[in-house]
């Protein structure tokens, strides 16, 4: 089932499924009970482009904090529940826009039924989340290990449990740190259900390994037309997850807008701190809602030629640099002014049209 044909589900004031744009999610790593710290992090994530945020709810204090957090943010909030069904109910009563549970680990059908009753009453979607690391023993034995088929069967068992209770407002999430197993599982699942799918590679790792694994996994899944929301799971500042997710979607042609920054890999001709400059440009460019390409080049020898495909670029020299537009040198500026000159150009980009 491709994303054009999945069911449409509302999460707060956002809509997923049915061919709607793929939304970017992240998860806070603050203590949810600390409203101030959690709201501050969510505001940073919103500014970076996060469209749905998930917060863990391990205590009743965390569930109660959702009410105040919701007052101060403008994106939907998903409550992440493990083991205690009472936390799911409390989170919904305090305004969670969606809950994430694994019906298999919150204490039996009676407790699942209690959660579903509240979700049904308030029309709150349930994300059924299954992780390869917590696959049931009988499914591990049935499939002779943790397999894509076992993950899918586990997820659909939970979905059928909730359907039997008369509720179908669901999103499914199946995750594994094994990239190719995760890809295979999504392909199998998409053929068996029309519920929207939240896609991610779990426990993918630090900034480098996590980005590589997530990029490969998400690209292979999304390029098949599968997936309605995504998260790039990284060990670090969750703002980095949003940057990566936006770039993955843009690279796959699934999202437009935002400045694309390209830079050369450096060589012996480089006479400036190109790595530092490229990072500064990328951070600075994120604040501009422009659909253009910016090049950051290390030298004046190949810089203009290599930057031809970019709308605007800068190239370093010895104590000075070049401002380039469509491969043509516009002017020379002192090296320490390269960033500020580029910023000024971007600030007035639309004035030049």
Position 301 scores a pLDDT of 61
pTM above 0.95? Answer: no
Position 6 scores a pLDDT of 93
Q: Looking at the predicted structure, is the pLDDT value of residue 247 above 80?
A: yes
Q: Looking at the predicted structure, is the pLDDT value of residue 288 above 60?
A: yes
pLDDT, tens digit, 9 for 90 and up, residues 28-64 = 999 999 999 999 999 999 988 999 999 999 999 999 9
CA dihedral 308, 312, 313, 319 (to 10 degrees): 120
Position 345 scores a pLDDT of 84
pLDDT, tens digit, 9 for 90 and up, residues 296-316 = 877 666 656 666 778 888 887
pLDDT, tens digit, 9 for 90 and up, residues 109-164 = 888 999 999 999 999 999 998 888 878 889 889 989 999 999 999 999 999 999 99
Share of the chain above pLDDT 90, in %: 55
Of 132, 127, 121, 137, which is closest to residue 158 (Cα–Cα)? 127
Q: Looking at the predicted structure, is the pLDDT value of residue 332 above 90?
A: no
Q: Looking at the predicted structure, is the pLDDT value of residue 165 above 90?
A: yes
CB neighbour list of residue 173: distance below 8 Å, 6 or more residues apart = 100, 127, 128, 129, 130, 197, 198, 199, 200
Residue 222 contacts residue 198 (beta carbons within 8 Å): no
Q: Looking at the predicted structure, is the pLDDT value of residue 89 above 90?
A: yes
**Domains of the chain, each with CATH number or no CATH:** 3-251 (3.20.20.20), 260-352 (3.30.413.10)
């Amino acid at each position: 089932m491709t994303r054009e044909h999945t069911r449409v589900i509302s999460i707060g004031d956002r809509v997923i499924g049915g061919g709607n744009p793929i939304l970017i999610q992240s998860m806070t790593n603050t203590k949810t009970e600390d409203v101030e710290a959690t709201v501050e992090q969510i505001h940073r994530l919103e500014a970076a482009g996060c469209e749905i945020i998930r917060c863990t709810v391990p205590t009743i204090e965390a569930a109660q904090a959702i009410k105040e957090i919701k007052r101060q943010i403008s994106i939907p909030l998903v409550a992440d529940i493990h083991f205690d069904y009472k936390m799911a109910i409390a989170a919904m009563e305090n305004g969670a826009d969606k809950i994430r549970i694994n019906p298999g680990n919150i204490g039996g059908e009676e407790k699942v039924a209690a959660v579903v009753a509240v979700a049904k009453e308030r029309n709150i979607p349930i994300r059924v989340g299954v992780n390869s690391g917590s696959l049931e023993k009988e499914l591990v034995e049935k499939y002779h290990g943790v397999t894509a088929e076992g993950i899918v069967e586990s997820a659909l068992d939970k979905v059928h449990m909730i359907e039997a209770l008369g509720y179908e407002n669901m999103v499914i999430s199946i995750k594994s740190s094994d990239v190719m197993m995760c890809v295979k599982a999504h392909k199998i699942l998409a053929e068996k259900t029309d519920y929207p799918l939240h896609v991610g590679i779990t426990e993918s790792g630090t900034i480098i390994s996590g980005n590589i694994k997530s990029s490969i996994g998400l690209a292979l899944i999304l390029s098949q037309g599968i997936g309605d929301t995504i998260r790039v799971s990284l060990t670090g500042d969750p703002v980095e997850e949003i940057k990566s997710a936006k770039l993955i979607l843009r690279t796959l042609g699934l999202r437009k807008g935002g400045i694309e920054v390209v830079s050369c890999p450096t060589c012996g001709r480089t006479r400036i701190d190109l790595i530092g400059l490229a990072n500064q440009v990328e951070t600075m460019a994120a604040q501009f809602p422009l659909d253009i390409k910016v090049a950051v080049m290390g030298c004046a020898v190949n810089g203009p030629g290599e930057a031809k495909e970019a709308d605007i670029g800068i190239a370093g020299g010895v104590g000075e640099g070049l401002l380039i537009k469509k491969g043509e040198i516009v002017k020379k500026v002192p090296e320490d002014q390269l960033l500020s000159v580029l910023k000024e150009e971007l600030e007035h980009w639309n004035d030049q049209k």
